[in-house]
């Protein structure tokens, strides 16, 4: 276990990543082989330093696992108290809508019977509209000036907000924005991808924690700021529920990329 934690930490360093990738091959998609990995040199530091590294790594791994388990249990408890409605018929058989039931839209997903049932279920159990507990905002497009970490701030994409460690994190200069503060995310916000695929990650909520407070997020990331007196965790839990995500996805529009 100690060797595993020590190797993990080294592989996450810039040096470790560079050594891992030096043997990559492939004309379109990069590949690594077991021989490449086996030949990667790993420094063996003095035992006291290794033990300190292993201890810190173990604490970090345990904290991340504990947090994921607690969040999963919270969602499971919520779903146990409020079971998701089932479908009355399979999608391939479709359903019938009267013209009087159309409200400004004609796309089928907006009138999915499952979404209608989820909305009715939440209303019957005292549910409220999202705007009653949080303020939603989505900034406009901007001209991107990417820079190194010393000259800009980290900026999250819609996909990266769901990653514990953002992959290929970019940094952007404040001169990219007329009002940089509109793109800043802060601890306690609930955020989710406003663009993407309705059947994929779009609408999957994440809670901004202190370690990312002050970072930036792109114009493809929806922000929800809790109203005064509303606990941030309560907003995340409400939006993360499957009934809520189904309603968000049903609002999507766009011919190629789904957007809310």
Check if the beta carbon of residue 232 is closer than 8 Å to that of residue 188: yes
Q: Which two tokens stand for residue 178?
A: 């007329």
CA–CA distances in Å: residue 156 to residues 46, 144, 162, 253: 37, 13, 10, 23
- Per-block average pLDDT, block size 10, for the chain (260 residues)? 93 92 86 90 94 95 93 87 77 80 84 88 90 96 93 94 91 93 96 86 93 95 97 94 90 86
d(CA 118, CA 243): 5
Of residues 8, 14, 67, 58, the one with CA closest to residue 211? 67
Task: Decide: 208 and 242 in contact? Cβ < 8 Å.
Answer: no
Residue 2: CB partners within 8 Å, gap ≥ 6?
50, 51, 54
Q: In terms of DSSP bridges, do strands 216-217 and 153-156 run parallel, antiparallel, or are they unpaired?
A: parallel
What beta strand segments (E) does 174-254 contain?
190-193, 195-196, 206-207, 216-217, 221-226
Tokens of 109: 């997903």
Residues facing 192 on adjacent strands: 222
Gap between the terminal Cα atoms of the chain: 45
**Tens-digit pLDDT profile for residues 195-213:** 888 777 899 999 999 999 9
pLDDT of residue 175: 93
In the prediction, which pLDDT does 63 show? 93
């Amino acid at each position: 276990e100690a060797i595993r934690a020590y190797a993990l930490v080294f592989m996450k360093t810039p040096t470790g990543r560079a050594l891992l990738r030096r043997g990559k091959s492939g004309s379109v998609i990069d590949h690594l082989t077991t021989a490449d990995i086996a030949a990667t040199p790993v420094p063996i530091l003095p035992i006291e330093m290794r033990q300190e590294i292993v201890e810190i790594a173990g604490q970090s791994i345990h904290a991340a696992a504990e947090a994921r388990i607690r969040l999963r249990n919270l969602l499971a408890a919520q779903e146990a108290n409020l079971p998701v409605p089932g479908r009355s018929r399979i999608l391939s058989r479709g359903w019938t809508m009267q013209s009087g039931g159309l409200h400004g839209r004609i796309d089928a997903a907006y009138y999915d019977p499952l979404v209608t049932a989820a909305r009715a279920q939440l209303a019957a159990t005292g549910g409220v509209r999202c705007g009653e507990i949080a303020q939603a905002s989505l900034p406009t497009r901007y001209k991107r000036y990417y820079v190194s970490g010393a000259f800009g701030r980290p900026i999250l994409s819609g996909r990266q907000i769901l990653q514990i460690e953002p992959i290929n994190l970019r940094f952007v200069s404040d001169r990219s924005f007329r009002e940089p503060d509109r793109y800043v995310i802060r601890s306690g916000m609930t955020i989710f991808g406003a663009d993407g695929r309705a059947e994929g990650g779009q609408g999957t909520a994440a809670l901004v924690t202190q370690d990312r407070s002050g970072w930036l997020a792109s114009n493809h990331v929806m922000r929800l700021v809790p109203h005064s007196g509303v606990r941030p965790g309560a907003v995340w839990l409400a939006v993360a529920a499957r009934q809520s995500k189904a309603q968000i996805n049903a609002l999507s529009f766009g011919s190629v990329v789904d957007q809310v």
